[in-house]
């Protein structure tokens, strides 16, 4: 006799630019584009450049509001980054947008040599970070943070939601030096307004306290961690969440203070490969300071990931709320 199995419906890959919001989730439209338009109204030195992806990075809003300050560079990411560097040399604060795979992998030497080596004031805002598209490795920027972390002087921001994104825009513009920001575009989930939170460049923030587990997370994995915390409340597991939107420079003091509290499992959760991202950065900080809590990583595997529907892939690679909750529960035994 065969056992009846519950089969999930087979999902289809959604459009590349589909929102990462789950059904019914509160969202805000184009937080990056709107924040940049607002900032550009106050600061005449803001310019926008893109490599044929204005619409897909919400930069079209800036282009509509400031056509004389918008520069289309065509599908040419080396030109995008180098010319952004050139405009920074002339005193402008360029926001350069493309997809994260192209901004990092394709244009890496131009980011390294043109922009970073001279500490130029370019803000690279790159969409589809980590696993946020089902189009396969060509579009999945699973190692973007590892690449950018290796560049001296690079500031790296991985916002969680619409609130984080819109608050980060004026702050990265005010920062003197290159910034790589992972970009969430379109209808972006709104989560952090329910917490006593404001984005501060360079600061990690406790969003909720918890006795049993401390999740240290960035980007959309903070949203997941907050959902996991609610799920595990039912199992009487108390999960704290430390949100680290600035990955470099790392807020080591806050991380050491929170991870140093006895009796908690520390889980670093990131939408990025296990190699070279927040997990390794936190592990290095902890070991260097002699702080050694039980430590686990929730991250994407060191592999070329599958194509498919995002919910399927997030389940498959362990970064969905459901799988992450089960994983942490399992670790607690």
Partner 1 sequence: MHTSLSSAHARVAESAYRIRRFALRMGEVQGQGYVGQALGYADVLATAYCHAMNFRPEDPNWEGRDRFLLSHGHYAIAFYAALIEAKIIPEEELETYGSDDSRLPMSGMATYTPGMEMSGGSLGQGLPIAVGMALGLRLKGNPAFVYNSMSDGELDEGSTWEAAMGAAHHGLSNLICIVDINNQQADGPSTKVMGFEPLADKWASFGWHVQRVDGNDLAAVIAAFDAARNLPDAKPRVILCDTLMGKGVPFLETREKNHFIRVDPPEWQQALDILDQAQGAAR
Residue from 38, 52, 117, 322 binding partner 1 (CB under 8 A):
117
- Using the rule CB under 8 A, give the single segment among 67-75, 158-166, 201-209, 233-241 that binds partner 1: 67-75
Q: Which of 147, 78, 86 is nearest to 121 (CA)?
A: 86
Judged by CB, which is closer to partner 1: 88, or 247? Answer: 88
Q: Of residues 23, 38, 68, 77, which has the active-site annotation?
A: 77
Interaction residues for partner 1, span 70-109 (CB under 8 A): 71-74, 76, 78-79, 81-92, 94, 109
Residue 227 appears among annotated catalytic residues = no
Report how many residues bind partner 1 under the rule CB under 8 A.
29
Interaction residues for partner 1, span 11-50 (CB under 8 A): 47
Number of CB atoms found within 10 A of residue 28's CB: 18
Burial of 125 (0-12, 13-18, 19+ CB in 10 A): buried
Cα separation, 160 vs 192, in Å, equals: 8
Q: Which residues contact 10 (CB under 8 A, 6 or more apart)?
A: none
Query: In the bound complex, what is the minimum distance in angstroms from residue 11's beta carbon to partner 1?
Result: 38
Q: How far is CA 191 from CA 21, 172, 214, 223, in A?
A: 10, 21, 19, 7
Residue from 56, 110, 197, 317 binding partner 1 (CB under 8 A):
110
Judged by CB, which is closer to partner 1: 30, or 39? Answer: 39
**Quick one: tokens of 98?**
């493309």
Query: In the bound complex, what is the minimum distance in angstroms from residue 109's beta carbon to partner 1?
Result: 6
Cα separation, 318 vs 300, in Å, equals: 8
The residues of the shown chain that bind partner 1, judged by CB under 8 A, are 47, 68-69, 71-74, 76, 78-79, 81-92, 94, 109-110, 113-114, 117-118
């Amino acid at each position: 006799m065969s056992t009846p199995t519950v089969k999930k419906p087979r999902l289809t890959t959604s459009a590349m630019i589909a929102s990462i919001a789950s059904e019914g989730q509160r969202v805000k439209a184009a937080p990056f584009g709107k924040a940049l338009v607002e900032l550009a109204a106050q600061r005449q030195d803001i310019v926008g450049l893109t490599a044929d992806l204005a619409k897909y990075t919400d930069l079209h809003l800036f282009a509509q509001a400031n056509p004389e300050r918008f520069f289309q560079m065509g599908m040419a990411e080396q030109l995008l980054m180098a010319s952004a560097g050139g405009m920074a040399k002339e005193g402008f604060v360029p926001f350069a947008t493309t997809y994260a795979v192209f901004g990092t992998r394709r244009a890496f030497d131009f980011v390294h040599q043109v922009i970073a080596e001279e500490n130029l004031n370019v803000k690279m805002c790159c969409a589809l970070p980590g696993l946020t598209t089902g189009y396969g490795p060509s579009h999945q920027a699973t190692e973007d943070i590892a690449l950018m972390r290796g560049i001296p002087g690079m500031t790296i921001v991985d916002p969680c939601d619409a609130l984080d994104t819109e608050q980060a825009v004026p702050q990265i513009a005010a920062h003197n030096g290159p910034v790589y920001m992972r970009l969430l575009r379109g209808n972006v989930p709104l989560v952090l307004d329910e917490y006593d939170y404001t984005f501060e460049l360079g600061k990690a923030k406790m969003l909720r306290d918890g006795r049993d587990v401390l999740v240290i997370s960035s980007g959309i994995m903070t949203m997941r961690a907050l959902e996991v915390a609610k799920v595990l409340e039912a199992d009487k597991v108390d999960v704290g969440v430390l949100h680290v939107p600035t990955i470099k420079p790392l807020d080591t003091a806050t991380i050491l203070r929170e991870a140093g509290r006895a009796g908690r499992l520390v889980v670093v959760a990131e939408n990025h490969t296990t190699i070279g991202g927040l997990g390794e950065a936190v592990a290095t900080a902890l070991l260097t300071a002699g702080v050694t809590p039980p430590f686990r990583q929730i991250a994407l595997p060191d592999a070329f990931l599958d194509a498919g529907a995002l919910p399927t892939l997030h389940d498959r690679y362990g970064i969905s709320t459901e799988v992450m909750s089960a994983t942490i529960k399992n670790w607690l035994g």
